[in-house]
Amino acid sequence: MIAEQASTPDTAGLSTDKRPCRVLVADDQPHILDALRLLLKPQGYVVEAVNTPSLVLDTLSHSSFDVALIDLNYTRHTTSGQEGIELIARIRDQYAPMPIVVMTAWGNIDIAVEAIRAGAGDFIQKPWDNERLLSILRTQIELYRSQKQTLRLEAENQLLRAAGAPDFIAHAPAMQPIVDLMTRIGPSDANVLITGEHGTGKEVIAQMLHRLSHRASRTLVAVNTGALSDGTFESELFGHVRGAFTDARTDRIGRFELANGGTLFLDEIANIPMRQQAKLLRVLESGEMERVGSSRTQSVDVRVLSATNADLQSEASDGRFRNDLLFRLNTVEIRLPALRDRREDIPALAAHFLARYSGRYRRPLLGFESAAMQILLQYPWPGNVRELDHTMERAVLMARGERIAVADLGLQSHRGAPPSLDELSLEAVEAILIRKALTRANGNVSSAAEALGLSRGALYRRMEKHGI
């Protein structure tokens, strides 16, 4: 395999995409590969060259390209073109949108026509005319990138402006890869693991992924698995039948049944007890479950979205989380940045929350004083978007003028040296202790709760109260 990187991409600026154009070249003759590299490299293309159909498929499995330029014959003295035709079919089956240009000898025009019918976009005859080859590549790449841009914009419009969609503000550069990833995986049935600090908006992402899927007309069922005790976990997720245990006076439908045909969102997934992880894994692997106390197996069709602020790789390495369950949950992982890493979104988010609470509390406010907005932009936001939400609700209630002032925010103490304990309320001290306990426990709520002498459920209630 040969890879060449262009130093000055002259033709890379196709459509509105400024990335260098990537070309996968396949031919069994080394001099053909050398000639194509010499032709394409000065034109600004990034060229990766391989010499067998199997290497084409292997390369496509881990790298993306704007076009494939492939020969039709790879075995010595073979002229039927069937190797190339079969390769086109495989590429079309696995990497449908990518354009394919085939190379063929003068006497094999009929085979080239067959290749077009199989899914190739165009063909070039050997020996080729340089200008014609470059023109064909430019045309195919321009069309491909334009189609991708159109699809991406349509998906983003659907994502950001769908009627009834949850509030989703994501203009900062740090959020653009998130938006792009959501538009690509939202329509699929892939299980998605959403990670990020507390308060970064993981549930909103789950709601958006559900709305983008073909399951959008069905139910999105959410459950905070971290708040479930070991004794209620199975009943909540799988349901139970009457008489299954002392308090089971009637049959109960579990969350998996409620989400059948739709989406199940499992929040705080890292805090599921080890014994229960095996039961969850079984449903994810087989799509089958039984209610507690029942011997009747039921099949469920559920897409699972899960979320955590913990590092599940570390949890798995330390033996607190099953590796096989992690593999099932994170077909795709979406990692959300902290609010401090997407400060460009703070003005829009603050204005959104201001409008929400101004309407709720009937307090017409015109906006922010410039000093107040400066404080919002500089504050570190350890509680992320959730903390900004709570801060704006307080500011609306405290505001005396037509605009939000610095004093209304309650964030002054963070401008200089940290306040002493004497200056803090009991609630503020509690919030500080909880944050420190979570930091020491690397985000593990169960460990933090134990260190604070609280039950896991009690800690969750306090975290919600403080916007952590």
Dist CA 460 CA 468 (whole Å): 9
Q: Is the peptide bond before 127 cis (omega within 30 degrees of 0)?
A: yes
Half-sphere exposure of 378 (CA within 13 A, CB side): 14
Q: How far apart are CA 238 and CA 251, in angstroms?
A: 11
Tell me the C-alpha distance between 205 and 153, whole Å: 18
CATH architecture of 341-416: Orthogonal Bundle (1.10)
d(CA 368, CA 366): 7
Tell me if residue 220 falls in helix, strand or coil: strand
Tell me how far apart the alpha carbons of residues 233 and 457 are, in angstroms, rounded to a whole number: 13
CA-based end-to-end distance of the chain: 51
- What's domain 421-468's architecture? Orthogonal Bundle (1.10)
Nearest-10 crossing angle of helices 346-360, 384-398: 50
Q: Tokens for 293? A: 């106390």
What CATH architecture applies to the domain 2-149?
Answer: 3-Layer(aba) Sandwich (3.40)
Would you call 313 helix, strand, or coil by DSSP?
helix
Distance, in Å, from the CA atom of 446 to the CA atom of 271, rounded to the nearest integer, reads 7
- Confidence at 14, pLDDT banded by 50, 70, 90: very low
At 416, the pLDDT band (50, 70, 90 cuts) reads very low
Domain boundaries, the chain: 2-149, 173-335, 341-416, 421-468
Q: Using one digit for the tens of pLDDT, what is the confidence trace for 259-278? A: 888 999 999 898 888 888 98
Q: Which residues contact 297 (CB under 8 A, 6 or more apart)?
A: 288, 289, 290
In the block, residue with structure tokens 């979205």: 305
Max CA separation in the chain (angstroms): 91
Structure confidence by residue, pLDDT tens digits, 243-258:
767 776 777 788 898 8
User: What is the DSSP annotation of 246-293?
Assistant: TT--S-EE-HHHHTTTSEEEEESGGGS-HHHHHHHHHHHHHSEE--BT
Structural contact between residues 40 and 33, judged by C-beta atoms closer than 8 angstroms = no
Q: What is the CATH number of domain 173-335?
A: 3.40.50.300
pTM: predicted TM-score of the whole model, two decimal places: 0.57
**Angle (CA) 374 378 383, round 5°:** 120
Statement: residue 404 has pLDDT above 80: yes
Reported as a single tens digit per residue, the pLDDT across 213-254 is 989 888 788 998 877 777 778 888 888 777 767 776 777 788
**Mean confidence (pLDDT) of the chain:** 83
The two domains 2-149 and 341-416 share their CATH topology (first three levels equal) = no
Selected residue with higher pLDDT from 166 and 327: 327
pLDDT tens for each residue of 140-167 = 888 888 776 665 555 555 544 554 555 6
Give the span between the Cα atoms of 59 and 55, in whole angstroms: 6
